[in-house]
Each structure stands twice: as C-alpha cells, then as structure tokens.
Amino acid sequence: MLDLNILSEQTVAMPDAAYQARHFINGVFVDSADGQKLDRVSPSHGIVVSQAALGSETETQAAIKAARAAFDDGRWSSLAAKERAAVLYRVADLIEQNEERLAVMETLESGKPISQSRGECGGAADLWRYAASLARTAHGDSHNTLGADILGVVVKEPIGVVSIITPWNFPFWILSQKLPFALAAGCTCVVKPSEMTPSTTSMLGEILVEAGLPAGVCNIVLGLGTPVGSLMTTHDDVDMVTFTGSTAVGKMITKSSGETLKKVALELGGKNPQVIFPDADLENAADAVTFGVYFNVGQCCNSSSRIIVHEDIADAFVERVVALSRKVVFGNPMHPDTQVGAIVTEDHKAKIDGYIKDAISAGAEICIGGQVLDVPGLGDQFYQPTVVRGVTPDMAIAREEVFGPVLTVLTFKTFDQAVALANDSTYGLSAGVWSENVHTCLEFCRRAQAGTVWTNTWMDGFPELAFGGMKQSGQGREIGRYGFEEFLEVKSLVMRIGRTRAPWVKTD
C-alpha cells in the first residue's frame, strides 16, 4: 500500500439542490429554445450538481446580436470611463460577498479543493478592481510637430464585440482575466464557459445585473464548442476572440476566425520547466516544485510538469520531492485541509494514465505514484502524486501537456545544456530558475523562451504583470496594461488647422 496523505472526511455542506444555470442574453436569463439541458456530475462526488441550458445556434445568434447592438448604440462604450469603472468596482464587491457560493459550485463542478476555490473566486475581485483602475487610462498620444497647420492625435477605442471562450480548469479566474479588461476598454462581450463548469459564469451574470451593467453588454451562452464556440469565432459581427484552452482548439480558432480577420488572443498549453542549479536553496526549490506540479491536480497551463536538475544533486533532490509528495493532502475537495482534489473527467484521467503507461513501456522509472487513486467514500476519479525519472527528452511525457499530477525529471551537466533542454519544447508559457547566484538567474531569464520566467519562486502572479506565452503557448497577453491594450483599437486623427491645403485638381 502506497504511503500517501489521503483525506476523505468532509466538513463543507453540500447545496440543497442542483444549480440551474441559464443563458444570459440581453440582460435576461433564459433556457434554451428547445429546452435542452446538460447535467454536470461532480468529479469528486459522482452526483449531479448542476443542470445547464445547452445552447444552440439560436442562443448564440441572439447573444451576438445583443452584444453588437449594445456596442453600436454606445450604451457602454460611450459612457465616461469613470462610470464604467464604477460598475466594475461594484462587481468586485459583489464577488467578495458571493465568494462562498461561487467557491462551493466551482469545487463541485471542477473537483478542486474548496480552499483553492475560495482563493480563486474571492481573489478574482482583485482582477476586477485592477481592470476598473485601467479603464480611465485608455489614452493615446498627440503630435504637435507635424507642421504649423497640422495636429495629429492618436486615440484608443474599444475593439468592439469580443467572444470570450474559457476552459474548465480555472473557470472563474480565467473569465476574470478577460472579461473585466474587455469591459474596462468599453467592449461588449459574448462568453462561453466550458460545458463542464458552466455555473460560476452563470452566477457572475447575476452579479453583473446587481452591479448595474447595462443589458446586452455581457451575454453568456452555455453549451459546447460546436455549435456555440465555433459560431462565436466565425460570426461577422464579432471583432475579436479571446480563448484559453488546448493548443489544438487554439489553432482551429485561428483558422476559423481568419476568414473574417478577427483579432485573436490565445492562452494555450505549456510544458513548463523549472531548472535547479546545485547552489539553489534546495528546500525551497523542492517545495515549489511540489506545489507547481500538484496544484489543481496538475490541470494547469502553468504546471511545472518538468524539472531540469543538475546531475550532482538529482538523486537527493528527487528524494526530497518524493518525500514531500507523500505529505501533500489529496482527497475530498469539500474539506478545507485538502490540497489536491479530483480529476475533471474519467476520460481525462484515462489520458493521464495513458501517458504514464507509455512512459513505463519506453523505459521510464516511477519514483512514486503512477496509478489511479481511490479516495474512501468518493471513488476513483483521483490520481496519485507521480514522479517519473529515466525520462528522455523525446518521450511524449517529456514533451506533451499531460495536465495531471505528474512530474518528469531530466538532468543536465552544464548551464548551456540546461537552457537548451528548457527551450527544447514547442511550448513557451513559463519557466523557472533556482540558484543563489544572481548572474546564473539573470542569464537564464534572458535566454529562456517563455512569457513568464520565475526566479527562486513559482507561479506568483499579479494583475499588473502581463501573462501569456511564446511559441505554441499562445499569442497576445492577458492582464496587466498589455492585456488591457489587447481590447483597444488605435485610430489616428489628422486635423488641418486653417485653410492651407493646396488643391490637388487644377481648376484654372
């Protein structure tokens, strides 16, 4: 029997009934015209925890029409930024007031621990407040040096109607990385959450009404990638698509939205390395590696799913991570002490297990875990903390996004080798370096091909700092000033002062 820290007890109360999630179109909550619904069975508890309207082209068309009308008549984009900001600040307050309700639903639909859901849902209020603060900064620039008779002014305008498509791993957080920034810019939106985690997005609709967002400015359609998501990326009346999810779907969206040349912002996968040098604070590094791989059961674009560790310290370091892995609390997500919960679906669990089996057949060695985990009273939609050694850079487990609690170990001898291994990936989302030598850290930061590089830490994030990927991890940036700018269009105004323009057509 594997010696792990499993918690099956539950202290957080279950809701009385399954939440009824409905579309939010033009300010009104509606069911699907054909009455279709989708049940969400909790990955941890195996019971139906929500029933969501299953949208079709009818609801998607209606939502896009409402967003287009709301943008074109200026009910939101023409408001003073101060007034838009005031609505976003109210949303932030209401998110905090609703934190527990949101968190319980997030946990039951996704399987993640309640403490994490509380942090994510309550913490998202800060993203809304930061976006509100940016609303009043959307200024351009002026050119007063173009000649005595010319004044040039560059203004920023909202890009228009934005389709927002979000995944199941951080439903409320990822929505809050996009929606408030689009709204702060003056855009109107159509949102589609993953069909596996629709409810907290629908609950946000209730909050938007209470905060006084005008009808039609944010519309929510619940349903599947096809037909809902695909129509949101091809419709003539949509100006921009912002998507978080798999690289495969991201590529499809780039193609489908290319027909109408929409702007596309993509936040996709990662195979994020942490590089550990022998002079690092190894205790701290081992803890951060353990956190980086098991947080959200590894179902995280920022998962530090690979470590690249100096060969002199590799054995001791891996031993340390394995020892910590035994202490991490896996189990019932409805207990505040649980650190790692359930896998989102049976299919996804099978995918994780497939990577492990393939790695074993290719000669890799399992240091801990490598199997499905049965939590007493809850069943087996869980996976053991897993560390895999003897991995070569060509193995699928070392290259592809496993999206599970699985750490692969690679080793290096020289600094150049470490950098080469870190960059040997089609992805470029994030990377980390551990060393007490500032020169080693700085050199690594400069050479790492990643949108974020952490030095002696992992996964610290702030609304002020742009987030996004290089290479096939995406395009564009989210949050921070750069994320806000994605939702703005640039327009140049050229103004002649006086009647000095020489005629082009000779009339005499």
Gap between the Cα atoms of 258 and 429, Å rounded: 24
Question: Contact between 441 and ligand NDP (CB under 6 A)?
Answer: no
C-alpha dihedral, 127 to 133 to 138 to 143, nearest 10° = -130
- Single out the residue of 225, 227, 278, 390 in contact with ligand NDP (rule: CB under 6 A): 225
Range 385-424, binding ligand NDP (CB under 6 A): 401, 403
Whichever of 252 and 466 has its CB closer to ligand NDP, that residue is 252
**Pick from 245, 256, 295, 252: nearest CA to 274:** 295
Residue 243: C-alpha distances to residues 160, 183, 191, 231, 323 (Å): 16, 16, 10, 14, 38
Residue 99 near ligand NDP by CB under 6 A: no
Q: In the complex, what is the shortest distance from the CB of residue 235 to ligand NDP, in angstroms, rounded to a whole number?
A: 12
Closest CA to 144 of 494, 499, 502, 491: 494
Interface with ligand NDP in residues 260-279 (CB under 6 A): 267-269
Residue 38 binds to ligand NDP (criterion: CB under 6 A)? no
- Taking CB under 6 A as the rule, does residue 432 contact ligand NDP? no
> Among 227, 210, 209, which residue's Cα sits nearest to residue 218?
209
Smaller CB separation from ligand NDP, 12 or 486 = 486
Task: Yes or no: say if 142 and 102 are a contact pair by the CB < 8 Å rule.
Answer: no
Task: Tell me which of 98, 233, 290, 305 binds ligand NDP, using CB under 6 A.
Answer: 233
What the block records as the tokens of 363 is 């000669």
Taking CB under 6 A as the rule, does residue 167 contact ligand NDP? yes
* Sole binder of ligand NDP in the list 245, 298, 370, 428 (CB under 6 A): 245
Q: What residue type is assigned to position 233 of the chain?
A: T
- Whether residue 469 contacts residue 478, with contact meaning beta carbons closer than 8 Å, is answered with no
Sign of CA dihedral 422, 423, 425, 429: positive
Which residue, 94 or 220, has its beta carbon nearer to ligand NDP? 220
- Asked if 444 interacts with ligand NDP (CB under 6 A), we say no
Min separation Cβ 330 and ligand NDP, Å: 20
CB-based burial label for 350 (10 Å; 0-12, 13-18, 19+): exposed
Instruction: Locate 108 and state its tokens.
Output: 């039951």
Q: Of the two residues 274 and 305, which places its CB atom closer to ligand NDP in the complex?
A: 305
Least gap, CB of 398 to ligand NDP (angstroms): 15
Stretch that binds ligand NDP, among 162-170, 207-215, 311-319, 440-448 (CB under 6 A): 162-170
- Tokens 């209401």 sit at which residue? 94
Q: Parallel, antiparallel, or unpaired for β 372-375 and 379-383?
A: antiparallel
Whether 42 and 111 have beta carbons less than 8 Å apart is answered as: yes
Q: DSSP 3-state assignment of 62?
A: helix
**Which stretch in 219-227, 376-384, 430-438, 477-485 sits in contact with ligand NDP by CB under 6 A?**
219-227
Question: Is the Cβ of residue 169 or residue 411 nearer to ligand NDP in the bound state?
Answer: 169
Distance of alpha carbon 215 from alpha carbon 327, whole angstroms: 49
| Residue numbers annotated as active site | 267, 301
Asked if 189 touches ligand NDP (CB under 6 A), the answer is: no
Candidate residues 10, 117, 230, 472; the one interacting with ligand NDP per rule CB under 6 A = 230
What's the burial of 185, exposed, middle or buried (CB within 10 Å: 0-12/13-18/19+)? buried
By CB under 6 A, residue 234 contacts ligand NDP = no
Indicate whether 226 belongs to the interface with ligand NDP (CB under 6 A).
yes
Least separation in angstroms between CB 301 and ligand NDP: 3
Region from 14-22, 227-235, 413-421, 499-507 binding ligand NDP, contact rule CB under 6 A: 227-235
What the block records as the tokens of 110 is: 């996704």
* Residue among 286 and 402 whose Cβ is closer to ligand NDP: 402
Of the candidate spans 56-64, 140-148, 189-197, 375-383, the one that interacts with ligand NDP by CB under 6 A turns out to be: 189-197
Binding stretches for ligand NDP (CB under 6 A): 165-169, 192, 194-195, 224-226, 229-230, 233, 244-246, 249, 252-253, 267-269, 301, 401, 403
